[in-house]
Amino acid sequence: MVYTKQFFGETKDKEPVHLYRLENSNGASVEFTDYGCRIRSICVPDKTGVLRDVCLGYSTIAGYEADCANLGAAIGRHANRIGKAAFSLNGKTYFLEKNDGQNHLHGGRRGFAFRVWNETQQEHKIIFSRMFPDGEDGYPGNLHMKITYEWSDKNVLSITYEAISDQDTVYNVTNHAYFNLEGQGSCSVLNHQLQIFASAITENDSESIPTGKILPVDGTPFDFRSTKEIGRDIEKENTQLLFGMGYDHNFILEGKGFRKAAILTAPSSGIQMTCFTDQPGLQLYTANYLKDCKGKYGDIFSPRNSVCLETQHFPNAVNCPSFPSVVLKANKAFVTKTCYAFRTI
């Protein structure tokens, strides 16, 4: 495994940012920045052997600082949405930043994604760490975070998240990589084929906040239990699709433990990505709000030109008692793992 590190630029606050790269024995590679632990690129071979970059990213640190879509970023302390930007814990109400209408999204305007992390390297692993102090972004507890990216000779990207807090807190973590298995950020993903191992979703209200109700996917546009094109049902008349302007929903994954969650395939490139996780949910997001962003190859990112498969606990779980808990108890370590495995078909 070849590891390289280079200077990527400075933030507006004059913090140095670096770009890290792992290249395996087959020439396939991944790149990361210590700014938000972001995945900047994933270059894997297509069915003809040509390497294609299947992960959207920016060419400069300025692009990431101006980013409104969290491209490739680690997301926390609480991924996805918290309704009314507030939650109660141990008899106290905490008020968070309202950065999505009246709601809280992805940990706030800075969260995990817009801060510089510390980095260490071990063979085929890159490890980012940071301590998030009590009260930062409105959350209780000093939270110690470690995120390990591992790249294998079999073109498997593994992400391990480790967290511990000195107080009870709310915690939900994911990565917000945008994928296009054609390798072009300006090419539609509606012809990508997708299978999700889930028989239900969490119902959203008109602001994309889960209500606590569970909806079966059977007979709806959300039925991806058998492989189908992402675009096949995306324009159908459906209240949930209308609320999200497309797919922007949490799927309740079947089974427990580390298991297969979804399979994404681009028939023309022959690249297939399988997602594995131990998390209970997966957010399918068809980049419905991604507009006029210029990527690292000059591509203009637009709605539905990429897709996110975000492994997670359920959105708004802190306000929905029936959902799996997102309360991280004091001094109790939490570890979760997600893998994206690439191959050709």
Give CA–CA dist 249/285, Å, rounded. 7
CA–CA gap between residue 267 and residue 254 (Å, rounded): 26
From the candidates 78, 176, 192, 313, give the one annotated as an active-site residue.
176
Contacts of 224 (CB under 8 A, 6+ apart): 194, 195, 196, 198, 217, 251, 262, 284
Give CA–CA dist 67/71, Å, rounded.
7
Q: How far apart are CA 244 and CA 37, in angstroms?
A: 27
Q: Which of 31, 136, 150, 310 is the catalytic position?
A: 310
Is 162 one of the catalytic residues?
Answer: no
Catalytic residue list contains 176: yes
CA 272 from centre of chain = 18
Contact 12, 65 (CB under 8 A): yes
What span, in angstroms and rounded, lies between the C-alpha atoms of 5 and 120?
A: 11
Residue-wise DSSP of 141-173: S-EEEEEEEEE-TT-EEEEEEEEEESS-EE-B-
Catalytic (active-site) positions: 176, 310
